[in-house]
Amino acid sequence: MEITLYVPQGHFKLQRMPRRKNELLRAWDAADEYLLEQLAEEGLPREGQRPLILNDGFGALSTALHPHQPVAITDSWLSHEATRRNLGDNDIALESVSLLDSLSEPQGLFDLVLIKVPKTLALLEEQLIRLRPHIHGETRIIAAGMVKSLPASAWQLMARLIGPTTPSKARKKARLIFCEPDLSLPSADSPYPSCYVLEGTEYTLCNHANLFSRESLDIGSRFLLQHMPETEGAVEIIDLACGNGVLGIVAAMQNPEARLRFVDESYMAVASAEENFRRAFGESREAEFRVGDGLSGFDNDSADLILCNPPFHQQHAVGDQIAQSMFRQSRRVLRQGGELWVVANRHLGYHQSLKKRFGNVEVVASNAKFVILRSTKHLG
């Protein structure tokens, strides 16, 4: 796979995260190339201008524009880590780019704003609302995306919240959206987090903008909740790819002596999980909340039960590499006799990969769309 990006700003070696052998996907897309070429044509950023980058997938924009000290905001820990590693691989000082998570507030005004349109338009809406106090009338705003993942609703959001938009011609199936700030538009209040009452309980779950199924319990999690494993004693339970934490919270309800750990690569997901857990249990229950690459950094043989509703896409790319990494990590982190429970779409075919990793797999339950799989760690 090609790993060198050639653009007017220079050539840069770039890799995706998590890194894996025989990677099939590039760490940038045609929309990154189009945007960087457009900036070069306009002579941007100019000397002294402050650039802000939103949703830079794996650091292509941040790396190429590093001489201008950009601020890069994303909800993805993997995106931050990819940016750090790609800067290092190109002998660029890490301090050249200021990395902020999606819940942090940048400081001051920006003269240039570059937006990679995210998969979740609610995240774009939240970002545009947060952006408004940090632009001025002359701020140059350019959004970019692949045509297939750039719906008209993205343009409409920008027009409603920031100002008039003009699309470019498509190039290599990518398109740019130019947005002119209209400071006379009224400022909008964020509708996020959004909340709902977890069915069958008195608990309220709230979800920040980038969470899947923000308005109600997703059907995969609902299916697993109907078949939750029972444990006893002071067991260690991990909610892996936790989202809003619903699996771990219900596990905590059913296992009053258990210690819970929640992990996701989304800053908004982990924040939602922690807020929901504390709303349910206050400080009466012990729990840990981590943002990171799955179970990287977790001790070997440290968990008794792992619950996982794994993602089957990374940004706009569909694939199973994240899930496969989680299965491999789970085998390492589980204790002897510990169990991994996975709920997933039937067509993803995780039976074979779990059987390969663990030497065993059991179908706990299945319906027309989902399957619940259980693998147990046995040594030898």
pLDDT tens, position by position, 192-249 = 999 999 888 888 999 999 998 777 888 889 999 999 998 888 899 999 999 999 999 9
Q: Residue 314: its pLDDT value, please? A: 46
Q: Residue 201: its pLDDT value, please? A: 83
What does the pLDDT look like over 163-185, one tens digit per residue?
999 999 999 999 999 999 999 99
Name the CA radius of gyration of the chain, rounded. 22
pTM of the full structure: 0.94
Average pLDDT, the chain: 93
What does the pLDDT look like over 71-126, one tens digit per residue?
999 999 999 999 999 999 999 999 999 999 999 999 999 999 999 999 999 999 99
Nearest-angstrom CA–CA distance, 35 and 174: 9
Cis peptide before 45 (omega within 30 of 0): yes
Question: Are 288 and 261 a contacting pair, CB within 8 Å?
Answer: yes
Nearest 5°: phi and psi at 194?
A: -105, 150
The amino acid occupying position 249 is: I
Q: Residue by residue, what is the 3-state secondary structure of the chain?
A: CCCEEEECCEEEECCCCCCCCCCCCCCCCHHHHHHHHHHHHHCCCCCCCCEEEECCCCCHHHHHCHHHCCEEEECEHHHHHHHHHHHHHCCCCHHHCEEEECCCCCCCCEEEEEEECCCCHHHHHHHHHHHHHHEEEEEEEEEEEEHHHCCHHHHHHHHHHCCCEEECCCECCEEEEEECCCCCCCCCCCCCCEEEECCCCCCEEEECCCCCCCCCCCHHHHHHHCCCCCCCCCCEEEEECCCCCHHHHHHHHHCCCCEEEEEECEHHHHHHHHHHHHHHHCCCCCEEEEECCCCCCCCCCCEEEEEECCCCEECCEECCHHHHHHHHHHHHHEEEEEEEEEEEEHHHCHHHHHHHHHCCCEEEEECCCEEEEEEECCCC
Mean pLDDT value of segment 142-156: 94
Q: Residue 283: its pLDDT value, please? A: 87
Beta bridge partners of 82: none
Mean pLDDT value of segment 355-361: 94
Q: Tokens standing for 286?
A: 């012990």
**Longest Cα pair distance anywhere in the chain, in angstroms?**
68
Mean pLDDT value of segment 322-350: 92
